[in-house]
Amino acid sequence: MTFTPDRPLRVLVVGSGPSGIFAADALIKQTEIPVQIDVLDRLPTPYGLVRYGVAPDHLKIKSVTAGFEKTLSDPRVRFLGNVSFGTELTYDEAKGHYDALFYTFGASSDRRLGIPGEDLTGSMSATEFVAWYNGHPDAAAREMLLSATGVAVVGVGNVALDVSRILSKTVTELRDSDIAGHALDALEHSPVKDVWILGRRGAAQAKFTTRELREFGELHLSEPVVRPEEIQVSQADEEAADSTVKKNLEVLRAFAARAPEDKARRLHLRFLVSPVEILDDGHGHVGGLKVERNRLDESGSAVGTGEYEVLPVQMVLRSVGYRGVQIQGVPFDPSRGVIPNEQGRVTGRVGEYTAGWIKRGPSGVIGTNKADAVESVKLLLEDARNGTLQPVQSSSRERIDALLSAKAVDVVTLADWKALDAHELMTGQAQGRPRAKVPSKAQMLEVIRGGRG
């Protein structure tokens, strides 16, 4: 079948985060095959982790949404928000209405440490904490007890640095961010004094990037603390270091050499330590974190030395990676937390593709997902060209609209989102802040319905 402007290639993109939008963008940028794309999201808001993952004080990174809005505004593209794939639109229904399905629903869960005490009150994933302070509707209603004076953050990736920085900033520093109002209020009363960021391997193996690390040295109330003996690296690691590792080591060495400033809060960057048990305070709450000192073996893996210490913390945030979640009808590899695929073609399925974290796992920055989505889109176009795709008998926007309307799904359009966006910006401005996020789905829909008149 040849796709034409009257019968374009109809694609459903599941997930409106960066990967989904980059995929839609790659599809509309080519001119060979006419396309029509629906970008679905279970939330009423587009942009996925740009809205709910990127740190609220990193507003510049979020400016990428201007380009995303342009893609969603193209007449060949529609945003269908507030529609859950797998339930409100089932796999079979989607398969019957679209020529191709493109999964870009990311990694919404987290990895666990697998140590005793992980389920104590006060122990949680950084993913949950990030979702809470970013006003994600799944997490906004959560009671977040910020009574800890000591917090351990396990892992040394950029997410670990984000949560540690947010915990260490003053409310004045955070007012310029788009942090959720409930989080700003809670953080204002947080008694936190010490945050420990724990790397199981050495400083040369840390995953964070230098710009984020440098910010630790620029906080009003908090100072970085680094032990010189923990950032010593082997000759081999020094020689193998890429430019990021070299710059990280430079900054860490400068931190280690700083004279104490006696600031009210301290950010302890610790290396070669692994959590082995989260201790109970006797009331089911975190009462400390037992860690073991490590050394690196020949292969660069952490090996315990049998030396232990207990950190005086009442909160533990594991920041050891996000994890994909299965959606009904979509193949899933539980060991890797991804959709099994070959360069983006879903294994064993015709006309199904994937991109982003659910394709390759939770790695890379926003831009990484562009090349990744383009790679998968190329395969989709190749299959459309060579007849591998099995187009549906008849397909139209109206048929999908009728299907969702029959199920009483209140689809949020791009115009609806723009109204909500404008509302958030306006309410934020009135509070002297860049944005005041509406934190619950019900409230978002109320604002949206109000805007429809």
Residues that bind ligand NAP (CB under 6 A): 113, 154-160, 162, 199-201, 205, 207, 212, 274, 319-322, 362-365
278 and 316 in contact (C-beta within 8 Å)?
yes
Distances, alpha carbon 297 to alpha carbons 246, 259, 423, in Å? 21, 32, 55
- Six-digit token string for 323: 């994890």
CB nearer to ligand NAP: pick between 127 and 222? 127
Q: How far is the CB of 172 from ligand NAP (least distance, A)?
A: 22
341-342 and 315-318 beta bridge pairing: unpaired
CB nearer to ligand NAP: pick between 201 and 265? 201
CB nearer to ligand NAP: pick between 126 and 438? 126
Q: How far is the CB of 154 from ligand NAP (least distance, A)?
A: 5
The residue among 33, 39, 106 whose CA lies nearest residue 74 is 39
Q: How far is the CB of 418 from ligand NAP (least distance, A)?
A: 27
Q: How far is the CB of 24 from ligand NAP (least distance, A)?
A: 22
Report which residue's Cβ sits closest to ligand NAP.
157
Q: How far is the CB of 379 from ligand NAP (least distance, A)?
A: 24
CB nearer to ligand NAP: pick between 120 and 296? 296
Q: How far is the CB of 185 from ligand NAP (least distance, A)?
A: 24
HSE of 415 in the Cβ direction (CA atoms, 13 Å)?
Answer: 6
DSSP string, 123-150: EEEHHHHHHHHTT-TTTTT-------SE
H helix count then E strand count, the chain: 17, 18
Q: How far is the CB of 256 from ligand NAP (least distance, A)?
A: 19
Task: Please classify residue 328 by burial: count the beta carbons closer than 10 Å to its beta carbon, then call 0-12 exposed, 13-18 middle and 19+ buried.
Answer: exposed
CB nearer to ligand NAP: pick between 198 and 438? 198
CB nearer to ligand NAP: pick between 31 and 243? 243
Angle value at C-alpha 199, between 207 and 202, nearest 5 degrees: 80
CB nearer to ligand NAP: pick between 101 and 156? 156
278 and 116 in contact (C-beta within 8 Å)?
yes
